[in-house]
Chains A and B, each alone.
Chain A
């Protein structure tokens, strides 16, 4: 469970978040929507402790995220996968190597790495491209590589910061579909997006933000 308790964040006089309190249950799929500057990315960055809150508490299960010492932040990030609008893929490594990084960091054996990376690439339909370099891939393929990197370590939570922002409609839906598959396996997904079609076409919780505040928190409609 992710819990924000009256969290505020200031950036040099600008208040990015204002006393946010919200709970996200394990296994939930949550859309974060709102105009640019609403505070969506700030929420995601706070969860992976890329930044610290100005006030308030953030809990991931029983861990007080904001209290984790700087030297131990990597333990948290090994439990949380992250994907970005700009993919953040290493240009001098192949698809396979980009995904394998995460497992190398965890100190897995080469044999296990090969199997697990192939499994993750298979989930995002990228096995046939695993020896290609990023320059040889389309935007959709780059984002799917990034997605494979996020899921390969089996995270409890995946944070997606406008992952479809640079993709065409077909690829955007493909990415969402993969995230839905991963969510079905029990992973919590928090996705910041501007794509209103996703919200209309799916039945997930939607947290709307504006000027650093939550203006609406719409739970999924129960199926009849």
Chain B
């Protein structure tokens, strides 16, 4: 209680220093929040594409069960395949009919003989696709290999790029924030040098001296986190429909962004607030901890 009162007194008596600390923390947490959301979204998008058959092998009409089994065995032995699904000519026709059920003209001319049998292959990791491709092409009875390598590779490239740039930026901001809080706390310590000296001489423990400063840093961190969360939640709510429409084929976005009054949105939103508050707590406490420790050494 005493630490809380003292921390509040520190904040009240130096409002400009408090604003500088909070603004810096706010910008860091805002960008960290946006970066985290972008990263999580990219993971979901990647997972979605990775869950789809990444590679489809079309067989020649002459290819029989033996060729299919040989290819299956070869792929299985690589240890890089997550799953394989054989689609016969008849099953391909069923799928074709389902996909084009609203267009009778397209259905009239097509029979099972026209459609090739295929093998849908999902790799354990998207990077394995390039290694599997030549292996498949060399196999007997294979007519064509169609795969989503370009989509996945582009996605990987973009997400890696985004992670590196934003990660670097957030890293810089984290260091900058800790330094700003250290400088602000050090200024306050310098103003209270005599008081701290007296506290030490009359038997105050290090924690007794340190706690108001750390609580002050934590207050900046948590308040900035709440502000950043409010701004990010506002942005997400404002663009909710556009984001949901952009990712319409990915179910998780529809579930979370479907209705802001539903549990998934509320739960993920408050979960996000919890994560941001933890980051704010850590940054605020670290900055002030380092500053006080330097003085108490």
How distant is the Cα of A102 from the Cα of B201 in the complex, in angstroms? 10
- CB closest residue in chain A, given B205: A74
Q: Which residues of the other chain, B, contact A50 by a CB distance below 8 angstroms? A: 201
0/1 string, B170-211, CB within 8 A of A gives 1: 000000000000000000000000110111111111101000
CB pair A101 B201 closer than 8 Å = no
CB pair B204 A105 closer than 8 Å = yes
Contact partner of A101 (CB less than 8 A), chosen from B199, B205, B206, is B199
How distant is the Cα of A105 from the Cα of B209 in the complex, in angstroms? 10
Would you list which residues of chain B between 139 and 177 have a CB under 8 Å from chain A?
A: none
Q: Which residues of the other chain, B, contact A75 by a CB distance below 8 angstroms? A: 203
Q: Which residues of the other chain, B, contact A82 by a CB distance below 8 angstroms? A: 201-202
Q: How many residues of B contact A (CB 8 A)?
A: 14
A61: CB under 8 A from chain B? Answer: no
Q: Which residues of the other chain, A, contact B208 by a CB distance below 8 angstroms? A: 74, 105
| Nearest CB of B to A178, in Å | 18
Q: Which residues of the other chain, B, contact A48 by a CB distance below 8 angstroms? A: 201
Would you list which residues of chain A between 56 and 87 have a CB under 8 Å from chain B?
A: 71, 74-78, 82
How distant is the Cα of A50 from the Cα of B197 in the complex, in angstroms? 11
* With A104-B2, A105-B208 as contacts: A149 and B202 at CB distance below 8 Å: yes
- CB closest residue in chain B, given A88: B198
- CB closest residue in chain B, given A50: B201
- CB closest residue in chain B, given A84: B201
How distant is the Cα of A187 from the Cα of B143 in the complex, in angstroms? 102
> B residues within 8 Å of A by Cβ?
2, 194-195, 197-206, 208
Sample 9 A-B pairs with CB under 8 A, ordered by A number.
A48-B201, A71-B206, A82-B202, A88-B198, A88-B201, A90-B195, A102-B203, A105-B202, A105-B203
